[in-house]
Amino acid sequence: MTNIKLYNKISPVGLAIFDKNKYSVGENAEAPEGILVRSAALHEEPFGPELLCIARAGAGVNNIPIDRCSENGIVVFNTPGANANGVKELAIAALLLASRDIVGGIEWAKTLKGDADVAKAVEKGKSRFAGPEIKGKTLGVIGLGAIGGMVANAAYGVGMKVVGCDPYITVKNAWSLSRAVKKADDYDELYAESDYITYHIPAIPATKGIINKENIAKMKDGVRIINLSRGDLCNVPDLLAALASGKVASYVTDFPCEELLGVPGVVAIPHLGASTPESEDNCAVMAAEEMVEYLENGNIRNSVNYPEISLPRTALHRVIALHENVPNMLSQISGALSSDGVNIESLLSQSKGANAISLFDTNDAVSEKAINDIRAIKGVVRVIVR
């Protein structure tokens, strides 16, 4: 029985992917081979030698110690695109919230309870919550992945002009973009053209604090900024200064912090981007499927630290070797198998940065000696036989 540990509440639809005859899944699972997590922080968690993979039911993986996982041959999965529609819909709402003081108006309307003539009071006071329409305005989309691309297309659909910038856009995501989305050569060009700017990029060292005084200075006066990606993208003191001066008209974020709460012009949403039953189901199913396919076959899809790899099973046994991306690894591993009388029926090897994985199918029994010989090869991180 393979143990899978849960660190958050996971949709039952996803948990149903695990065959009850093969897997024991729960929050108290001991010596797990897999961890299924949403937002729980794992940086201080000890990982046992049995742990083979971690699946994040969501796109961001800043709650997972990626480097430590790579050092120990632990494959980390995420679920890009599974919650994209939920975030896209919130982004459209955020555009409207950034334009008109809808939240302030609703709160003010509550204070009219008991007023003898609510309708008259509404007509008299509504002007303070007015704001521009989004039709005809220019939206700059930074990051055109699964979510950013959907936001760009949706914004064009409601009448906005859209300019996008993503130095790392994939061919698949490029094909999914509307032809009406204008490509900016760099962020500076996007900043200069946009009335609204929305960020759909990961929180990594290179993007931390990207919403800062230097970049804000390149934006239009009265720009409206939306950040549904990560709180770390924003340099809060710089943003507060820009709001106070009027350079930034409004800031809508899905990541509240104490400094932003109650600040005029800030709409703080309590991290609702993926808080739809559809998103939670989609993320859970995708994460579970990725984990099962790896644990049973060594195939990898949507890993942040290891390459994509998929080899159809052609024999009784599969040797899975995770190793450093250095020369002669295939020949050394093949040699170790061959010296133990193991004939390789098929193989596949892929790399991603410093990490690589190789799959070897055979109809011969793989002895403990052969496994130990492979483990002894310099640069081999982990060996699994399925």
Q: Is 259 one of the catalytic residues?
A: yes
Q: Is 317 one of the catalytic residues?
A: no
**What residues contact residue 383 under an 8 Å CB cut-off, 6+ apart?**
319, 320, 321, 322, 371, 374, 375
Strands 161-165 and 223-227: what pairing? unpaired
Q: Which of 71, 259, 278, 308 is catalytic?
A: 259
Report the C-alpha gap between 38 and 267 in whole angstroms. Answer: 25
Chain-centre distance for alpha carbon 279 = 13
Q: Which of 271, 313, 317, 386 is catalytic?
A: 271
Q: Tell the burial category of 171 from Cβ atoms under 10 Å away from its Cβ (0-12, 13-18, 19+).
A: exposed
**Backbone φ and ψ of 253, nearest 5°:** -135, 150
Q: Which of 230, 280, 289, 318 is catalytic?
A: 230
Q: Calculate the CA dihedral of residues 28, 34, 40, 42 and round it to 10 degrees.
A: 110
Alpha-helical runs (H) found in the chain? 12-15, 66-71, 84-99, 102-110, 118-125, 146-157, 171-176, 187-193, 213-217, 236-245, 277-297, 329-339, 368-375
CA separation, residue 54 to residues 57, 66, 291 (Å):
10, 10, 8
Q: Is 230 one of the catalytic residues?
A: yes
CA atoms within 13 A on the CB side of 161: 10
Tokens of 212: 């800062």
**What residues contact residue 95 under an 8 Å CB cut-off, 6+ apart?**
134, 139, 155, 160, 196, 198, 224, 226
Report the C-alpha gap between 258 and 262 in whole angstroms. Answer: 9
**What residues contact residue 80 under an 8 Å CB cut-off, 6+ apart?**
59, 145, 146, 302
**What residues contact residue 290 under an 8 Å CB cut-off, 6+ apart?**
55, 77, 79, 300, 301, 302, 303
Catalytic positions, written as ranges: 230, 259, 271
